[in-house]
Amino acid sequence: METQSLWEHTLTFFPQFLASVTEHAPDDATIAVVGASDGKFVLPLAAAGYRVLAIERDPFALHGGEVSLPGDITARAMGLVDRLKLEALYGRVQVLEEDFLQTGTRQAKCDAVWTSCSWHYSANHRRPLADFVSRMQSLVRPGGLFGAEFMMPTEQRHIGIEHYTSPEKLRRHFTDDWRVLLTLRTNEFIEPAHVGQLQDHTHRMGLLLATRTSQ
């Protein structure tokens, strides 16, 4: 691609999700990305031939602007909309500029839904994690795929925040008409400085993939 996401080099379980999409979803699947940011996951999905529903409320992520980078660098960052247009992928993506937790979406059900580390942002702590998970689940058609990677606790202050969860705790939300396909976790690791975190920092991440078995 001609452009890069600001988050291009951060650790992700997205390859596992994409492999599951290839296995479980049709070639012309519609995939929702909740917290689409500047398109780290949206653009690869669209380039692979999928239709994408990109849900994002942050004007900067959507339309770009000035950003501080590690090394005391200030740069102009490109947003999701301009990246899609430059890569000739805009026609494959429906961009919804809205707060997913506040309004949800009235779109038809999708073949898959994905989110990456969106739960731990403090702006989303005003609502229970169960609300976020159930809204995502409501987007998935029978036979469809749910994928989420998330931050796990690394500091004492995280322990009391349910949004820093674990694969075991998250499983509680996937009973009855759901079948968990895969859970993964990392040990603690040091991630190099990036936008929003201008110093090296410690993370621990988890993944859950599940498929909806019935209506």
Residue range 80-125, pLDDT digits in tens: 999 999 999 999 999 999 888 876 556 678 999 999 999 988 888 8
Q: What is the pLDDT of residue 166?
A: 95
Interval 44-65 mean pLDDT: 95
pLDDT at position 106, please? 61
CA distances from 88 to 62, 77, 82, 92, 213 (A): 16, 18, 10, 9, 35
Residue 185 — very low, low, confident or very high, per pLDDT cuts 50/70/90?
A: very high
Give residue 75's pLDDT.
Answer: 79
d(CA 25, CA 158): 35
Q: Compute the mean pLDDT over every residue in the chain, rounded to the nearest whole number.
A: 91
72 confidence band (pLDDT: 50, 70, 90): confident
SS3 content of the chain, % helix, strand, coil (to 5): 30, 30, 40
Residue 104 has a pLDDT of: 55
CATH number of 14-212: 3.40.50.150
pLDDT one-digit tens code per residue, 161-179: 999 999 999 999 999 899 9
- pLDDT the model gives residue 120: 85
User: Rounded distance, CA 52 to CA 114, Å?
Assistant: 11
**pTM for the model:** 0.93
Domain coordinates in residue numbering, the chain = 14-212
pLDDT of res. 71: 73
Contact 121, 41 (CB under 8 A): no
Q: What pLDDT does residue 84 have?
A: 98
Q: What is the pLDDT of residue 69?
A: 74
Distance, in Å, from the CA atom of 23 to the CA atom of 45, rounded to the nearest integer, reads 14
